[in-house]
Amino acid sequence: MKMPTKVFYSIIDQAVEMSYKGRVYLNWYNEPLLDPRLLNFLRYIKKRGLTAGLDTNADLLNPAKSKELVKQLNDSLNWIRITRYDCDRAKTRWLQSIFKKKVRWTDHHIVSHFSPSKALNPLIKWARNSPCSNTNRIIIGYDGEMRLCCEDIAGNFNLGTIHKSSLKELWYSAKHQKIVETLAKNGGRLKYRYCSICPLGGTKHLRWLKKGGIPTSKTVRTAPPVTRWTSIVGK
């Protein structure tokens, strides 16, 4: 299933009206290169004065077939993160030569509720009493439902849908604000079962959480440092 095209454009327009200053990402547990509307979407984001980022496995990009696509992506994107689990060094060099400083790489497992490891328990225990600011992104799923954070795949918090409420109404709803403010405090995770079993680390940097605060990508923090994860798994 895909988000209807007109819904996407409406969300961008509403974000601009809200004076949103962060980046727009066209991925959340999906592969954006599979969507033929991608370049149109990126152009619209740019036209509305916002910046765009993309996470992709880059499987659909190759030197022989995708020169034009890559050129257009390069023109539209401010940031691209590519997974390189396959260790294809020639392809990595090619992508680096095109995207240059825009590209970042992911070559390690990013821990989540769904990590295939029994070693999650020490990490959950470590994070349990810390605050969480991973709620600082506006995430609208393909189905129009607002999610609390990148981990909220199933919509555990019933935050409402863009099909019935405006982006502003969803973001500033009393329910959403209460959850965010609760999670900003030590021990707040214990109030919500899904958060109480979350292995993602907390942060003390919650400056954005001021009255009327709009998230910016500068405040994003998604996971504990890899070194810490590695040291816990290695025990």
Contact 99, 78 (CB under 8 A): no
Does residue number 135 form part of the binding site for ligand SF4 (CB under 6 A)? Answer: yes
Tokens for 156? Answer: 């555990």
Assess 223 for contact with ligand SF4 (CB under 6 A): no
CB nearer ligand SF4, residue 99 or residue 157: 157
Q: Which H or E run contains 70? A: helix 67-76
Cβ proximity of 134 and 222 under 8 Å: yes
Binding segment toward ligand SF4, per CB under 6 A, in 13-21, 22-30, 58-66, 149-157? 149-157
Cβ-based burial of 113 (10 A; exposed 0-12, middle 13-18, buried ≥19): middle
**Interface with ligand SF4 includes 195 (CB under 6 A)?**
yes
Interface with ligand SF4 (CB under 6 A), residue total: 13
- Interface residue with ligand SF4 among 167, 198, 223, 232 (CB under 6 A) is 198
Burial class (CB in 10 A: 0-12, 13-18, 19+), 89: exposed
- Examine residue 132 and tell whether it contacts ligand SF4 (CB under 6 A): yes
Distance CA 53, CA 27 (A): 9
Judged by CB under 6 A, the stretch of 31-39, 72-80, 86-94, 187-195 that binds ligand SF4 is 187-195
**Which is it for strands 139-140 and 146-147: parallel, antiparallel or unpaired?**
antiparallel
Question: Is 145 near ligand SF4 (CB under 6 A)?
Answer: no
126 binds ligand SF4 (CB under 6 A): no
| Residues from 40 through 69 that contact ligand SF4 (CB under 6 A) | none
> Which position among 200, 206, 209, 223 is part of the footprint of ligand SF4 (CB under 6 A)?
200
Shortest approach of ligand SF4 to residue 160 CB, angstroms?
16
| 149 scored as a contact of ligand SF4 (CB under 6 A) | yes
Rounded distance between C-alpha atoms, residue 138 and residue 216, angstroms = 10
Do residues 209 and 181 touch, judged by C-beta distance below 8 A? yes
82 in contact with ligand SF4 (CB under 6 A): no
130 binds ligand SF4 (CB under 6 A): no
Q: Which of 74, 96, 194, 216 binds ligand SF4 (CB under 6 A)?
A: 194
Cα torsion at 152, 108, 42, 208 (round to 10°)? 50
CB 58 within 8 A of CB 207: no
Q: Which residues bind ligand SF4 (CB under 6 A)?
A: 132, 134-135, 148-149, 151-152, 183, 189, 194-195, 198, 200
